[in-house]
Structure 1
Amino acid sequence: MLVVVPILLCVSRTFAEPVVQGRLGRIRGTVRKVLDVDVESFLGIPYAEAPIGELRFALPRAFGSVGDFEATKYGFSCPQPNVFPLQQFSNTTDSEDCLFLNVFRKAGTTSSDMKAVVVLIHGGGFLWGSGGHVEFNMAPLAGIGDVVTVSFNYRLGFLGFGYLENSEFKNLGLFDQRLALEWVQENIAIFGGDPERVTLIGVSAGSMSVSTQIVTPLNSQKGNLFRAAFMDAGVISSTLINEPRVAENRTRCVARAAGCTGDENLIACLRGLELADIQRSGETADCGPIILRFTPTSDGIFLPENTQEYLKSNAGNFLKVKTLIGYAQNEGSMFAAMSGAGHPTTLTDEDFLDVIQEIIRAYRLRVEIDGDERLKDAILENYLREFVDPFTAFDQFIGDAFFYCSSNSFIENYARVNGHVYVYRFDKVMERKYFSFDPKIFGAYHMSPFIHFTGAYLEDSEGERRVADADQEYMLEAMKVLSDFAKSDDTPVYRGLKWPRYSEDGDFLVIDKEPRVSSGFPQRTRCRSVFPYFENTLSPHREEL
């Protein structure tokens, strides 16, 4: 593991103004309270130079010393589109100068404590989010779990995941993530964290990013940056990976809309534009749906060419870390609602397939049902006839397409070479609405497990409690699982039930009010019938943009 031991000058602290000092400089933070625990926060620390000017569309460069630094407020979020439905979740200000991270620790922690470290890669479809969003608040886990936690920003959308073949402009958001992990290795000790005990966690696109950091061939070149992983709701797969040709076409489409064409001076032209012009072009250009337009690309550097085949056949080359991985029972419910599927009580076969076709178009799924009667029959049999109402069928279809099928394939391949893989399915329905979605309608929806394992909402907002008492009890149990997982190699235990290691028997833990062990993925038949490409090779794209 890459470790650079910092030279400590001194560490001083009061609950009014915690201070750390060392090779980074003198960094002053603040104290906040989560439940009855004081948590020290060091916010908005730059880990990379601002990616502006000549560094726009370039690999990130380490920032170095921050000098005398007030780490008392979150840094800017990376630029993200102001379009429905994303704008309803944003609570921060954007800027290209956005490569900041945040460190949290329980009050009283010193540099000699060497506590376990938990680093979060935030979610948001590679298009939205930041380490400062309330959904990704890592202060509760630091205080209640007594670990050092880190969250950070990385470039998103066109700026972070655009692609031009003969340039550095490819998968920059993934390289940002990796530089943040290198920063943790080099600097977390001055905050009382142990660089040898780093657990990397993520949700949704963040979870997909964690899996990417596990599978990237760069691990063999640059060393291991973490020893454990927690992945909630997704792994990298052919559903999200862009082929270079498609990624380049989409990038050039946005560039043309902004007035930049040609080859030799394309990046120079883009660097000369105002950010607002780039964002406006990205939001208005006819370059396909904005959701999932720019995601990781199989560039042959961070991700191998034909990544799906690599995921299937080369698990032995993956970074071997103990892994806790799973998903919610209703992963697709919020996406079904955002696609406009509605809540019909009954639908004819034809009407159901029409909505499925709209979902396929909205989310660019690698499925083509026009003229394929076998596939139409498989969709009707596995979804419309399997579930009591059409909305649940839409929920499960989207869940399979984005989360269940790819995760199950990854789990089975990875567990063959890694004896420390633990799997869950989260069935518990929360009592209160979080993240703008009502559990009475959406069930155990996307991000429900993450909200529990990190306790992100446990910190009061302006004196107002965000969490229902009934939910808090289960959140505290789940937070103990994750913090214990980061601290030791003991088998995880949830509410007194020992977590089974995943093996050929396919055992996994069902997290509910009364947890239980189950066997075999219930989605296996559906995945093989409707989404077989997860078990085969990377399916071709249906479009050029």
Structure 2
Amino acid sequence: MLARIPSKLFLSLPLLFSFGATPATAISEPGTTNISSPTVRVLNGTYYGTHLAKYDEDLFLGIPYAQPPVGPLRFHPPQSLNTTWDEPRNATEYSPECIGYGSSNWVLGNIVSEDCLTLNVVRPSGISPDEKLPVAVWVHGGYNIQGGALDPRYNLSFIVEQSIEAKTPIIAVSIQYRVSGWGFLFGKEILDAGSANIGFRDQRLALHWVQENIEFFGGDKEKVTLWGESAGAVGVGAQLVAYGGRDDKLFRAAITQSGGPTPSNRYSTPESWQPVYNNVTAAVGCAGANDTLACLRTVPTERLSSVFNSSTTASANWGVQIDHDMILKSGSAQLAAGEFVKVPLLTGRNFDEGTTYATRGINTTSEFLALVQSAGLDNATATTIAAMYPDIPAIGIPATLVGRPSPSEAYLGAQWKRVAAYIGDLQQHAPRRLTSQSWAKYNVSSYSYRFNVLVNGISPSIGATHFQEVAFVFHNTEGEGYKTVVSKDPFEGKPESFLELAKIMSRMWISWVVHGDPNLAGVSNTTWPEYTLEDPKNLVFDVNVTDLTYVEPDYFRAAEIKLRKRKARLDGVTFLVHDNGYDEVPQEDYEPVKRSETQQTFQVSGIHISILHSMHSTSKLPN
């Protein structure tokens, strides 16, 4: 990721494309090492990096972990390096990011290229190979269509610095992987070629590189924690369920922030993707080719990129693909069967995730019902679900918005808080609870959190939304990468409690990487409980409470849902509900079902409706 170099160096760059023709080594050509430069000899040869004296860190940047995926290797699984060298090579600058489409790329003006399969290593200075420090491997997010290791918001120097100050030093690694159509194109032709899930395969090869080489940097290959946020967390989830949950000993623990093995969008099949694949081949003149995939490998980068960044791929699902090889079946099915890597997990979501995904402009109950029905539900089920999310702003999200949106924000819709609550549960909170319960069901240690902070630059109508915890976890208190035309420094103008919470969160994450226990950081008066089926709990990070943290039961609920009884009152009807199909609470604990003698459960995208009750937002429940 970004070393601790002033972000203005990157913000001043124009938007540049080094499509295909420029290899990553154009930024890291073999050269003569400065005598003061740190050097590391890995399996293929020697690299020299950069020493940051002010922070006492060594940086090794833009290191290839695979052959350039260009020409005939486009749309192929990543290929291991097949060269060695004697002369030290330059590892002092980042490689281009993988070609992507979105603000993560164009706002920062980052150079992009097809040749982008590199990683970066940030370590405390002067570490010898026998130090065996714990290792955190960061996987960036960006909806699998954008982002990269060059993003200054992911400055790994900050968290490594915190680990040094805590006297529990770690090594941090960031990886790049192909995104958008370059990494997640799918269809029958892709399946037959064994080229599905290329972006996730990139990540996996990077993990193999870490296993083979991190000891030369002073890291311990047996103490690797895989860590990601949003689409990066989905990538972590894909590694957890890959090959039926086969444990290849690539990591000993995981962290998933706002994502995981059960993303809300369904795992793709080649059949669902085929129309998009056909549209892409037609758009670039390959539809009539005998081998359309071979034809796509010959299309000029600029032309293919313009198609990927157009309405041609508007319906594409840039996510996990069922290829019956790396991914055998849906994440929820694999979790239910215990087909995941049994490593400890730290996972969580932000209170107001739904404001990132919510449909805007919903003003009436009929419009809200239509939104619920758009998931393919029949009218009766959709009506029941809609009733579970009543149009009561006081119990919707975000809590930072009092009442309904103001006239200046009327575009959000009169039922904004209702929609945000429903969508947030569907997209984020339900999958997180399913994951936490699955780990507990199979007796694997896990810890769950929720983040509730309104940062600088975010409107009260948006609240503690998606991504906002990242600056705290990274201890990016200088706001690197946030001072742009589309965002602001999250800490600017905020009280000392914001900085204190950043220290708490970053140190807890470090403690997880080092010890496999977030409670050994010595920075919080609150003990973070392990998640269990019998007593499921989350740790909440909140600058508005005295200790900045508190423990809550993991029962998100509307005003009428009681804490321990897990029920929902709907227009005089009390429905018995299950959490993800695990009926761990004795049935006699529930009140009788009215108007019906049978238990009722509902599912949306395979997730039981009982876990879609997160109307929000406060730790207090009415009696």
Q: TM-score, normalised by structure 2?
A: 0.73
Structure 1: distance between partners of 2:42 and 2:381: 65
Q: 1:251 aligns with which of 264, 277, 280?
A: 277
Distance 1:335-1:307 versus aligned 2 partners, 3 A rule: closer
Matched, 1:161 2:188: no
Which residue in 1 is equivalent to 2:341? 319
Structure 2 residue 417 is the aligned partner of structure 1 residue 392: yes
Match of 2:436 among 391, 400, 411: 411
SS at match of 1:27: strand
Match of 1:270 in 2: 296
Correspondence for 2:350 among 308, 328, 340: 328
Can you give the 5+ residue segments of structure 2 that lack an aligned partner in the other structure? 1-32, 164-168, 397-402, 405-414, 558-565, 569-578, 581-600, 610-623
Residues 165, 248 of structure 1: 8 Å contact kept: no
Of the structure 1 ranges 236-245 and 108-117, higher mean CA displacement relative to structure 2 is found in 236-245
Aligned to 1:348: 364
Query: Per residue, is there more helix in 1 or in 2?
Result: 1
CA distance in structure 2 between the aligned counterparts of 1:131 and 1:90, rounded to whole angstroms: 12
Displacement after TM superposition at 1:148 (Å): 0.2
Q: After superposition, where does 1:35-114 map in structure 2 within 5 Å?
A: 37-63=55-81, 65=84, 68-81=88-101, 89-114=107-132
In structure 2, do the counterparts of structure 1 residues 14 and 525 end up closer, same or farther at CA, with 3 Å as the change threshold? farther
1:19 corresponds in structure 2 to: 39
**Number of the residue aligned with 1:488:** 515
Structure 1 residue 127 corresponds to structure 2 residue 145? yes
Q: Which deviations, in whole Å up to 9, do the C-alpha atoms of 1:518-542 show, x marking residues without a partner?
A: 11330687998775443469xxxxx
TM superposition shift of 1:86: 5.8
Q: Residue in 2 aligned with 1:197?
A: 223
Distance 1:439 1:462 in 2: 15
Cα shift at 1:439: 5.3
Q: Counterpart of 2:541?
A: 511
In the TM superposition, residue 460 of structure 1 has moved relative to its aligned partner by: 5.5
Aligned twin of 2:473: 453
Residues 322, 418 of structure 1: 8 Å contact kept: no
CA distance in 2, matches of 1:305, 1:231: 20
For 2:326, which of 292, 302, 312 is the aligned residue?
302
- State the percentage of identical aligned residues: 26
* Aligned equivalents of 1:192, 1:217: Cα separation in 2: 30
How far 1:205 sits from its partner (Å)? 0.8
Report if aligned partners of 1:106, 1:142 keep a CA contact under 8 Å in 2: yes
Q: 2:606 aligns with which of 526, 534, 540?
A: 534
- Judging changes above 3 Å, is the alpha-carbon distance between structure 1 residues 481 and 320 closer, same or farther for their aligned structure 2 residues? same
After TM superposition, give the deviation of residue 110 of structure 1 in Å.
2.5
> Would the alpha carbon gap of residues 418 and 249 (structure 1) be closer, same or farther in structure 2, given more than 3 Å must change?
farther
How big is the shift at 1:96?
0.4
Q: Distance in 2 between matches of 1:288 and 1:532?
A: 23
1:195-218 CA-to-partner distances (Å, cap 9, x unmatched) read 110011000011111111111126
Indicate conservation of the 8 Å contact 1:452/1:479, yes or no: yes
Give 1:183-194 correspondences, 5 Å limit. Answer: 183-194=209-220
C-alpha distance in 1 between matches for 2:85 and 2:64: 8
Q: What letter matches 2:364 in structure 1?
A: T
- Partner AA of 1:442 in structure 2: I
Q: Which residue of structure 2 lines up, in the alignment, with residue 473 of structure 1?
A: 500
Residues 501-510 or 195-204, more deviating: 501-510
Root mean square deviation, CA, Å? 3.0
Contact 1:329 1:425 in 2 (8 A): yes
Residue 140 in 1 paired to residue 127 in 2?
no
C-alpha deviations, 1:211-258, integer Å up to 9, x for none? 1111112653x7210001111001233633112211233222212211
Name the structure 2 match of 1:372.
379
Match of 2:317 among 290, 293, 299: 293
Deviation string, structure 1 residues 428-473 (Cα, Å, up to 9, x no partner) = 333x23xxxx154422111222322222454767999954454222
- Opposite residue 473 of structure 1, the aligned amino acid is E
Whole-Å separation in 1 of the counterparts to 2:144 and 2:482? 30
Map of 1:7 onto structure 2: none
CA distance in 1, matches of 2:482, 2:433: 41
What's the CA shift string for 1:487-521, capped at 9, x where partnerless?
Answer: 11445256121111111211221121331111133
**Partner Cα distance (1:229, 1:171) in 2:** 20
Asked if 2 retains the 8 angstrom alpha-carbon contact of 1:205 and 1:234, the reply is: yes
- How far apart are the structure 2 equivalents of 1:183 and 1:384? 52
SS at match of 1:485: helix
The AA in structure 2 aligned to 1:23 is L
Alpha carbons of structure 1 residues 440 and 70: separation in structure 2 relative to 1, 3 Å: farther
Cα contact 1:81–1:279 (8 A) shared by 2:
no
CA distance in 2, matches of 1:534, 1:463: 40
Q: How far apart in 2 are the matches of 1:87 and 1:98?
A: 14
Shift of 1:19: 2.1
2:555 counterpart residue number? 521
Larger radius of gyration: 2
What letter matches 1:165 in structure 2? L
2:51 counterpart letter in structure 1:
V
SS of 1:497 mapped into structure 2: coil
Match of 1:502 in 2: 531
Matched, 1:170 2:196: yes
TM-score (norm 1): 0.83
| Alignment coverage as a number of residue pairs | 496
Q: Answer whether contact 1:352 1:384 (CA < 8 A) is retained.
A: no
The answer on whether the counterparts of 1:116 and 1:148 sit within 8 Å (CA) in structure 2 is: yes
- Aligned equivalents of 1:71, 1:374: Cα separation in 2: 57
Q: Deviations over 1:144-200 (max 9, x none)?
A: 212100001101111111122211221111110000000000111111111110011
Shift of the 66–261 alpha-carbon distance from structure 1 to 2, 3 Å rule, reads farther
Distance (Å, rounded) in 1 between the aligned partners of 2:511 and 2:500: 17
Q: Distance in 2 between matches of 1:86 and 1:490?
A: 32
Q: Distance in 2 between matches of 1:481 and 1:158?
A: 36
Within 1, Cα distance between the matches of 2:380 and 2:418? 19
Q: CA offsets per residue over residues 106-142 of structure 1, 9 Å max, x none?
A: 2232322211100011111111111111222222112
Tell me how far apart the structure 2 counterparts of residues 396 and 167 of structure 1 sit (CA, whole Å).
Answer: 41
Q: Are 2:174 and 1:151 aligned?
A: yes
Aligned residue type for 1:161: F
Q: Give, in whole Å, the separation in 1 of the partners of 2:114 and 2:127.
A: 33
- Name the CA distance, whole Å, in 2 between partners of 1:489 and 1:352: 43
Q: Which amino acid aligns with 2:306?
A: R
For the 8 Å contact 2:501–2:541, the answer to whether it is kept is: no
- Which digits, 9 at most, give the CA deviation of each residue in 1:329-382, with x for residues without a partner? 01122333xx5x16x8xx33235456x47xx9xxxxx7136x615414522541
SS at match of 1:393: helix
What is the SS of the residue equivalent to 2:272? helix
Structure 1: how far apart are the matches of 2:67 and 2:244?
22
